[in-house]
Amino acid sequence: MRILTKEINAKLDQEVELAGWVAGRRDHGKIIFIDLRDRGGLAQLVFGPKTEAEVYRLGESLRPEWVIRIKGEVKKRPVGMENPELETGQYEVAVKEIQILNRSDPPPFPLETDGYEISEETRLKYRYLDLRRPRLQRNIKLRSEFTRRVRDFLFSHDFVEIETPLLTKSTPEGARDFIVPSRLHPGKFFALPQSPQQYKQLLMVAGFERYFQIARAIRDEDLRADRGFEHTQIDLEMSFVTREEVMALDEAMIIAVVESFGYQIKTKPFPVFSYQEAKEKFGSDRFDLRSEEEKAKGVLAFAWVVDFPFFEKDEKGEWTPTHNPFSAPKEEHLEWLLEGENIGAIVANQYDLVCNGYEVGGGSIRSHQPEVLKAVFRIIGYKDEEIERQFGHLLEAFRYGVPPHGGLAHGIERLLMTMTGETYLREVQAFPQTSSGRTSVMDAPSEIDEKQLAELHLRVIEPKSDSKKN
């Protein structure tokens, strides 16, 4: 039976069967060393003078990334030949049988380095190879374990995991929507969710009280190091809660999960700054509280920012929510909101979590009264018919006994970036987009054929050459 390379440590002088990829090969004339890589790590294989001639010949033929299965005997490495850097570094396997399961073209770039030196385009074109490198294996496995622990925490706090649709209606979260044409309803379109915001609020109307989802958020916005078209959120919502209660539960989750991986958190409970204070003290609401020494030690400095202005002026001089329109105003500013007065001074019941200079989460206590929500939409310039058309479903739901509620969402990639010290989102996502907005490996966006276009009732207008990038 096949075992993992790391298991050879307990198998001295025993025969083992291993399978994996050729990660490296050193040919010393009469002796060949092969590093065999599997999901658990690396082990050194040896083909030497005592190896049967046919097996030796096959050993000689091996090249990087070939897939092999071997049988052999676990031996202690000769004194002075141990490799303390390797988990299996005290041992090696003298190969007795070998089967070549598959050959590989020479990889387009080395896989044993951390990969930062290779261009993004090449790495993402061959992402399935890039992902073989140990650093990315670690990051992606950390991500999987991280979400597992988040789920465990939330389940143990009585949350229900509920999926919400991907084909939906646009929810304004400040970005452009990705649009999906409908075949059955000519001229009509779905939007991919910028977040499950409205659905999670509807789940509060539906009486679930504690919802979460590891949710994909899809936004057509300018790409940056820490932002892709798609990211994943830990999205939650709770009924009958105050802002402090949401923040406390969330903080307990972040602390439990992050510390379970051995990370050190700078200050607990997390310090809380008002937006105003943050701007005055740090000149930004995405500040980094770590000292230089703490940066070297990988400390995580979380802090809350609260009391954001509800609205700001956009480039056209119109009011727009700083976060999203579903937030409630602070109690004392409710009148202003309803009357449309002192708009710039209205404070939202919003909270953001920052860590090491990144915004790693945000949420709010929501408006649960239809007239408050309507007042927000009016301030941001919607006419009554438009409010009805875009948000009639939510306002209608709010007529049927909606509990007070609030919640928040964390960007999983940004949390993982702070934990791993990575500065690009692509280092913690399996198949990220390139910075020019194309997919990894598969060549999308791409053209579709005439038949598909016709089925979708679409005609493509050739872009003018100077507007191709928009």
Which chain residues interact with ligand ASP by CB under 6 A? Answer: 173, 195, 197, 217, 324, 362-364, 407-409
Q: Report how far residue 210's alpha carbon sits from residue 76's, in angstroms, rounded to the nearest whole number.
A: 55
Supply the Cα-derived Rg of the chain in whole angstroms. 28
Residue number with the smallest Cβ distance to ligand ASP? 195
Least distance between ligand ASP and beta carbon 110 (Å): 38
* Closer residue to ligand ASP (CB): 74 or 249: 249
With respect to ligand ASP, which residue has the nearer C-beta, 72 or 325? 325
**Shortest distance, position 85 Cβ to ligand ASP, whole Å:** 42
CB 210 → ligand ASP: shortest distance, Å?
14
CB of 16 to ligand ASP, least distance (A): 49
**What is d(CA 23, CA 86) in angstroms, rounded to the nearest whole number?**
13
Please say which residue, 88 or 198, places its beta carbon nearer to ligand ASP.
198
CB of 408 to ligand ASP, least distance (A): 5
Residue 240 C-beta: closest distance to ligand ASP, Å? 17
Residue 240 Cα distances to 244, 362, 407, angstroms: 12, 19, 11
- When the beta carbons of 197 and 440 are compared against ligand ASP, the nearer one is 197
Minimum gap (Å) between residue 420 Cβ and ligand ASP: 22
